[in-house]
Structure 1
Amino acid sequence: MRILQQAVQILQEFEQILKHICEKGRQVPIENILRLFSGIGHAESDLKLLIPLLNKETLPLLLSVTSFWKDHVRIRYICTGIMNLSMKISANIELNFLRSLRSINEQTSSEICFSTYEQYREQLEKKCSTNILTLLSYYGSSWNLFDFLDSLTTDDVYNLQEAVNDWDETLVNMKTIFDFATVKNFLDRVNAAMTNKQKQLNVTSLSFEHIVECFENTWKNNQFDGLCRCLESSALSLRAISYKPRPICQRPAQSMSSDFA
């Protein structure tokens, strides 16, 4: 009997929350919506069961808010990545919008979350492939990796390859160095592509669309088919490599292996 009473109480509380959301709609904070679901991963399927209880205006709001929250950590990394990238290159990107998106939390009103997230979808997400979104998220979560790679010369990469035996093989091996070199090569080619695009358009700042185009076109090279894996490997191994004494990167280089050209 006690279990039944608790179940009835939970159902009544759920109905009150749902009623409040339907009445207040866009004014309620995100946390009120999240309380409807036992886990954000099941929110979309749970919402399908609630359709008969929701009005037409509330359903799109709930779908948008739950979709955002399910992926909000990655979205924040993507926003941070775009902002970090804009410090490296001259880009014509609205940074205030990205800051607004990053600042969304459980206390944010569902209206602000809905409008900002939908703007993100239209202006950024729909213009990028899954690969580009992953790359941008690394610009946000592993910014030190890109800083480190930018500091390396061609000779440095070769010397890292030569010095691979100086590391603990459980942390760094030849494959790790190859992954670093692949990411470095990709970034160098992207930078060259962006410089050429600026000259071609006779502009000093590139739009987000042009930046994405440079990334996409460079990624088409078969050499970068495994770039996402290389990014993951390099990010995980960065500490081991970047803290190695600098003289290793200063050994005289003779010629670059064709794999790293």
Structure 2
Amino acid sequence: MVSLPDSVAVVTGAASGMGRSMAEAFADEGASVVVVDVDEDGATDVAEHIRSGGGDAIAVIGDVTDADSVDEVVDRTIDEFGTIDVLCNNAGVLDDFTPVGDASDELWYGVIDVNLHGPFLLTRAALPELQQGDDEGVVINTASIAGKVAGGGGAAYTTSKHGLIGFTKQLSHDYGPEIRANAICPGAVETGMTDQMIEEMEAMTADTPAQRYAQPEEIAAVAVFLASDDASFVHGTAVDVDGGWLVD
């Protein structure tokens, strides 16, 4: 049985989709949760939902691409809960499968800023807290199967997720065993961001062993495992949760 009592988990992009499911799953396992998102109403709703179920959570409005905002997320977490045990860098944006030749500067830098620069900023800010205490801190980065192969996104998205996996490995190399860093590589997942891509998702997953796309809760379950002591010997890896997309 996975359990995370007395832990403090910070989850970005937690107002909806996989981030919301991660926040709720951590709370279900006994963690205090900091729900971080640029969507104030959505983040507040998730935190209230967790508290209504007997959990402990606060909503913090935070832009992961802004260093001052990231510092505020860390400061609010310390003020409220005293530490950070688990950091889930989940916030991300898509690029509509835009190839290099059609990608504008705005699209390119916007995707890289959220998907790669954001995890760097927040991880750097949270490092002192993650390194404190007798137990190892945990960083979980939401990457993608597009971080391992082409075809799961466009040029900017694929590049950002390849970079995030590299960042995860270097983080593990530089800070283990004080910090245990891993990435999750989802395939097609049904979330608000992908609601307009259901036909494309069904086509992409038709030839996978699972022959379906995932629900956010299935990704959250892997995040909970990676944060728990059950994953104590899992360091610097990128876990495929893709229904077998990459089996061939």
Query: For this structure pair, what is the TM-score category when the shorter chain's length is used for normalisation?
Result: under 0.3
TM-score scaled by length of structure 1:
0.24
Q: Which has the higher strand share?
A: 2
TM-score scaled by length of structure 2:
0.25
Structure of larger gyration radius: 1
Q: Which has the higher helix share?
A: 1
